[in-house]
Amino acid sequence: MITFKERKYLVSKGIDSFFTGVFDAWSFIFRFFKELFIPPFHFKEFIHQVYETGLKSLPLITLTGFVTGIVFTKQSRPSLEVFGATSWLPSLITIALVKALGALVTALICAGKVGSSIGAELGSMRVSEQIDAMEVSAINPFKFLVVTRVAAITVAVPILSMYCTFVGLMGSYLNVKANENTGFLNFFISGFETTTFLDLNVAVIKAVVFGFTIGIIGCYKGYYATQGTRGVGKAANQTVWMAMFLVFVEEIIIVQIANWFRVQ
């Protein structure tokens, strides 16, 4: 039976641990921006990480984006047919993919695939003392391992997001073409006539924020992993769920800010 004193101590310890974790996370982010602009710049490692996080994710992004476009179109058609408004399908799908689904789907895939990989990789390097060995060798492990990976995924996610949106629109077009025999140019002209530059800018900003969030969480959890091999799995797992949770929170916040600009 836990006494009142013990319960009070556990609550106090949990609160202290939470605020300590928040402080450590902000210190980690501040250190990233500080190291980002201080030479040397590991461009070769940065390009390698762009390849690892971006190019290797293309097959999964392609499949997911294409299926998303087809499924969303098929699900939306019956509702629009009730009102005789199937001609609005291109606009509806374009708005959905550009404003929300393209960046969100890409971020969730990268959180599961790339984020967990970064957390596990840096975690294994930490518990096997490879990071300590780099420090002894006069190499800045934070700059070489963290800065390059966060910068790479911050650049890769917006590109993958735009690609996912395009692939999703192609999947939607094929479905519309098969059912309504709509031409290629007519589909895209009709789709983008209701899309503004603000929508495109917001989509890019969201993708950049999502990419940075996934990268910084994966690196933070992996860089400070403990408890041996168990800590590696814990770092990968925490990276995935924390990145996904923050992606949804950021989606809500950015949408609210964008809507505020629209009414100005």
Q: Assign 35 to helix, strand or coil.
A: helix
In degrees, to the nearest 5, what angle opens at C-alpha 73 toward C-alphas 153 and 247?
30
The chain-wide mean pLDDT, for the chain, equals 85
pLDDT at 6: 56
What is the Cα–Cα distance from 73 to 49, expressed in whole angstroms? 35
Cite the beta strand spans of 37-193 per DSSP E.
none
What integer pLDDT is reported at residue 108 of this predicted model?
A: 92
Nearest CA-CA partner of 213 in 161, 173, 248: 248
Quick one: DSSP state of residue 101?
A: I
User: How far apart are the C-alpha atoms of 125 and 119, rounded to whole Å?
Assistant: 10
Q: How confident is the model at residue 19, as a pLDDT?
A: 66
SS3 content of the chain, % helix, strand, coil (to 5): 90, 0, 10
Rounded to 5 degrees, what are φ and ψ at 131?
A: -65, -40
pLDDT at site 1? 54
Question: So what's the pLDDT on residue 22?
Answer: 76
Residues of the chain with pLDDT under 50: none
pLDDT of residue 176: 86
The whole model's pTM is what?
A: 0.88
| DSSP single-letter state for residue 181 | -
Q: Which residue pairs, CB below 8 angstroms and at least 24 apart, start in 70-77?
A: 70/171, 70/172, 70/174, 70/175, 72/96, 72/97, 72/101, 72/168, 72/172, 73/171, 73/172, 73/175, 73/176, 74/175, 77/179
pLDDT at position 250: 92
Domain boundaries, the chain: 28-258
